[in-house]
Amino acid sequence: MLSVCTIGVPTAGLEMSLAGCWTNELGSIMWIKVSDSGVIDGTYNSSVSTVRKAADGVVIGYQQSVTNATFGFVVKWAIGSVTVWAGQYYNDGAKEQLKTMWLLRKNRQDPKDNWEATLAGMDVFTRANPAKCNVRDDRSEL
């Protein structure tokens, strides 16, 4: 059974909410809000990137429904690429996790370079203290 997420983060009326601050195994930080209809929006600060330095991006996506823990979101990077994540929310009572798979698409002008333009991988995000995201946990706007 999935539990209600009420850890001082904006839940927008969802029974389980992805809203709040999340960090992955590489130290990247994501802050997201979720609307009543399941629309996800926020910010992402990647601690790694294809240009070998931290990168910031804008998050947009969807949580499937108030009773379904699946979701997907896209990050538009300032460096000209996009990454898409699909995953599921899990809560074992001790920690909340977003287990995801991702595809990163780099911009390539020459069609011959298409073979190297997409990378794939997995991320596990763990809910983090809102202070780690450097935002207030009760704010209404990003």
The string of DSSP codes covering 88-118 is EEEE-SS-EEEEEEEEEE---SSGGGGGGSE
Taken in order 112, 86, 71, 7, is the CA torsion positive or negative?
negative
Domain 20-133 has CATH 2.170.150.20: no
The string of DSSP codes covering 55-67 is EEEEEEEEE--SS
Residues 30-69: tens digit of each pLDDT: 999 998 888 999 999 988 765 666 788 999 999 987 677 8
Domain boundaries, the chain: 20-133
Mean pLDDT within 122-131: 91
Identify whether the C-beta of residue 12 lies closer than 8 Å to the C-beta of residue 20.
no
| pLDDT for position 53 | 65
Residues 7-41: tens digit of each pLDDT: 334 444 445 678 999 999 999 999 999 988 889 99
Identify whether the C-beta of residue 38 lies closer than 8 Å to the C-beta of residue 46.
no
pTM (2 d.p.): 0.79
